[in-house]
Structure 1
Amino acid sequence: MIDRSTDPAGWWGKVYSDVPLTTQWDDGAHTGNSKGRTPTSSNSMPKMVFAMLDALSVERGNRVLEVGTGTGWNAALLSYRLGPDNVVTIEVDPAVADEARRRFTATELTPLSVVGDGAQGYPDGAPYDRIIATCGISRVPYAWVEQARTGGLVVAPWGPPYGGQAVARLQAGEGGIASGPFVMSSAFMRLRDQRDQFPPTASFPGAADWPAEGERRTTALSPDDMGDWHHMFTLGVQVPDLFCRVECGQGGAYRLWLLEMSGQSWATADYEHGRTAYEVVESGPRRLWAEAEAVMSWWREQGEPRFERYGLTVTPHGQRVWLDHPRNPVPVLVP
């Protein structure tokens, strides 16, 4: 942590570097110069800010809703380009919003700054030509689609609970449907309305007594593959109730735990450098490592797609991820 009052040169150096900067820990409960438990607000990496603004494709006269004010930098950039009267920014945390308003006033760029739940959008300012979220989501709030003008764009970082996040660029169409491709990888803090609450590993039957009565076998699927961003995305899309934890060992070895939200089934796979077969234990009514193997087999059969081949469609009834074309939905193995 860097304090501007005691290290101004270091502070400015970080501000102008191409890295994300955490500006709040633990929803503001943590104070001081040390790190807290969980980062909850930040100034995004400049390269990502500009890439997402490029995907937003704003034009003169556009009206924009930003979800997640944060430091206010993104809203200020939009205000400079479009005029403050055309920008609405919403922030759930009153203290964060107040700090951003102070900065807006100092720069004479004063968009409409609202404190509220970004998942609800801001209907009083709708319709919007562009909507951009600076926080991660696993479900596109349908309010955003409803508040987007037909032909307008929604740009938001999207990813399943398992991990692997990418920026979706959706165009609002007729019939309350928005659809479009993923355009780049991303890693954003979750919208507070959608933070995942995972059950503790010890609450799963037999997990505290590993391997307990779990079935043991070997696999050729490396646990390391489960950490690649696009692999995590593909696995999380097809098995949307899946999450993972890592138990570190010595010399780079580790145990990967796959768990599911009902708290009944788990699987582990042990990684050691140089091995081609890995010890697996599966327990509960589902065989989670077998599900992961099926997903990765599907991924290879599809030509090992990266994010750019995936897309997302949102309707009044839900959302679905597709591959190459909206008429080709990615299969979901477990509802």
Structure 2
Amino acid sequence: MLDMLDVRPGHRVLEIGTGTGWNAGLLAHRLGPGLVSTIEVDPVLAAQAAGCLERVGLDADVIQGDGACGHAAGRPYDRVVATCSVRAVPPAWIAQTRPGGVVLVPWESLWFCYGLLRLTVDGYGGASGFFSPHSAFMLMRGQRVDLRIYRDVVRESHVPVESVTRLSPWAVAGDDWAAQFSVGLQLPDVWRTWHHDPDVEGVASRLWLATNDATSWAAVDWDGADSDRFTVWEYGPRRLWGMVEAAYEWWRGAGRPGPERFGLSVAPDGTHVPWLDTPDHPVPVLSRSAPSRTCAPDNEVHHGTGTL
């Protein structure tokens, strides 16, 4: 990640997610004093990291606050790097980066946590860049969705529609990470989880799908015998498995591209547009994603280890 960040002498860097302070320490060692700010939402971690950096004589400004809002006081930055994954790039990170600067962030869809996005900021309030097939980080706290299939989604009163599919659930939620990455880009508000049958050791026999507003769900069952015929149950206003089938067929028709062929453009209004190979070839987005939230007034706490 630090190699992809491509920091140069004199660059001002903002890191989102201080953690132990290790990454901020590497950046401060590389760039020198007064050029690195790092923000951590957890007050205990922020204080510990500040102490560690101070003890080894590295100058980084450690801030305790909401990383999604960046750190406006230190802008403009030449580089912004996150050590937590996001499902949508917070607008503040782009707004606080100078034109031509880089925002490097681990990516996660509701479907699959995988990928690293390197955006170059333009002069009009937007940014664009390619994904790389690396990284899997803990999701930023403000973007987490706490949903459970049986607690929040499926109800006894639901009467699902039954059908049959020949698309294996393992094709879209198994070992093919490229397929999963593509499905996640096309279905940004659909999540999935496996149900493991206790009677079949080590085998997941049902794939659950649901929207993050809990209004639609689907289940794909394997009977343990037939490898090319699966029962589908769907409920709600959207037929989720049909959408997954369409997303998978689009990916196959495009030549089964890996994450490195995909990119993302973020418009000044925060709209995210994924694309394949070039921005003029948008990926078909088959569902909706939640809008980015706005930042509250500044409530940061500085730990005084830096000079910014």
Among 289, 304, 307, which residue is 2:259 paired with?
307
Higher RCO (CA < 8 A, seq sep 6+)? 2
Specify the code of the residue in structure 2 equivalent to 1:127: P
Q: Could you tell me which residue of structure 1 aligns to residue 184 of structure 2?
A: 236
Q: Could you tell me which residue of structure 2 aligns to residue 126 of structure 1?
A: 75
Give RMSD over aligned pairs. 1.8
**1:261-320 CA distances to partner (integer Å, 9 max, x unpaired)?**
232321111234771222222222221111110110000010111000001111221221
TM-score by length of 1: 0.79
**1:226-282 CA distances to partner (integer Å, 9 max, x unpaired)?**
223332322222222211122101131421101112323211112347712222222
1:276 is the counterpart of 2:223: no
Q: Could you tell me which residue of structure 2 aligns to residue 334 of structure 1?
A: 287
Aligned residue runs from structure 1 range 62-141, under 5 A = 62-141=11-90
1:176 is the counterpart of 2:122: no
Tell me how far apart the structure 1 counterparts of residues 21 and 226 of structure 2 sit (CA, whole Å).
Answer: 47
Tell me how far apart the structure 1 counterparts of residues 147 and 189 of structure 2 sit (CA, whole Å).
Answer: 10
Q: What is the CA-CA distance between 1:213 and the residue it aligns to? A: 3.3
Q: What is the CA-CA distance between 1:101 and the residue it aligns to? A: 1.1
Tell me how far apart the structure 1 counterparts of residues 55 and 152 of structure 2 sit (CA, whole Å).
Answer: 51
Q: What is the CA-CA distance between 1:205 and the residue it aligns to? A: 5.1
Structure 1 gap segments, 5+ residues each = 1-51
Q: Is the 8 A contact 1:199 1:261 kept in 2?
A: no
Q: Could you tell me which residue of structure 1 aligns to residue 212 of structure 2?
A: 261
Tell me how far apart the structure 2 counterparts of residues 189 and 84 of structure 1 sit (CA, whole Å).
Answer: 29
Specify the code of the residue in structure 2 equivalent to 1:326: P
1:221 is the counterpart of 2:167: yes
Specify the code of the residue in structure 2 equivalent to 1:115: Q
Specify the code of the residue in structure 1 equivalent to 2:84: C
Tell me how far apart the structure 1 counterparts of residues 55 and 204 of structure 2 sit (CA, whole Å).
Answer: 51
Tell me how far apart the structure 2 counterparts of residues 118 and 146 of structure 1 sit (CA, whole Å).
Answer: 14
Q: Could you tell me which residue of structure 1 aligns to residue 299 of structure 2?
A: none
Q: Secondary structure at the match of 2:266?
A: strand
Tell me how far apart the structure 2 counterparts of residues 191 and 203 of structure 1 sit (CA, whole Å).
Answer: 22
Q: Secondary structure at the match of 2:124?
A: helix
Tell me how far apart the structure 2 counterparts of residues 179 and 314 of structure 1 sit (CA, whole Å).
Answer: 6
Tell me how far apart the structure 1 counterparts of residues 252 and 87 of structure 2 sit (CA, whole Å).
Answer: 24
Identity %: 43
**1:23-44 CA distances to partner (integer Å, 9 max, x unpaired)?**
xxxxxxxxxxxxxxxxxxxxxx
Tell me how far apart the structure 1 counterparts of residues 154 and 42 of structure 2 sit (CA, whole Å).
Answer: 38
Tell me how far apart the structure 1 counterparts of residues 38 and 140 of structure 2 sit (CA, whole Å).
Answer: 14
Q: Is the 8 A contact 2:172 2:248 kept in 1?
A: no
Q: Secondary structure at the match of 1:188?
A: coil
1:145 is the counterpart of 2:94: yes
**1:94-126 CA distances to partner (integer Å, 9 max, x unpaired)?**
100111111101211130111111111111111
Stretch moving more, 82-91 or 184-193:
184-193
Q: Is the 8 A contact 1:127 1:148 kept in 2?
A: yes
Stretch moving more, 110-119 or 194-203:
194-203
TM-score by length of 2: 0.86
Aligned residues: 281
Q: Secondary structure at the match of 1:185?
A: coil
Tell me how far apart the structure 1 counterparts of residues 213 and 83 of structure 2 sit (CA, whole Å).
Answer: 30
Tell me how far apart the structure 2 counterparts of residues 122 and 215 of structure 1 sit (CA, whole Å).
Answer: 49
Q: Is the 8 A contact 2:85 2:105 kept in 1?
A: yes
Q: What is the CA-CA distance between 1:63 and the residue it aligns to? A: 0.9
Q: Could you tell me which residue of structure 1 aligns to residue 276 of structure 2?
A: 323
Q: What is the CA-CA distance between 1:199 and the residue it aligns to? A: 5.4
Aligned residue runs from structure 1 range 9-48, under 5 A = none
Among 175, 194, 197, which residue is 1:246 paired with?
194
Specify the code of the residue in structure 2 equivalent to 1:329: P
Q: 1:205 to 1:97 in 2, by over 3 A?
A: closer
Tell me how far apart the structure 2 counterparts of residues 203 and 137 of structure 1 sit (CA, whole Å).
Answer: 23
From the two aligned structures, give the one with the greater helix fraction.
1
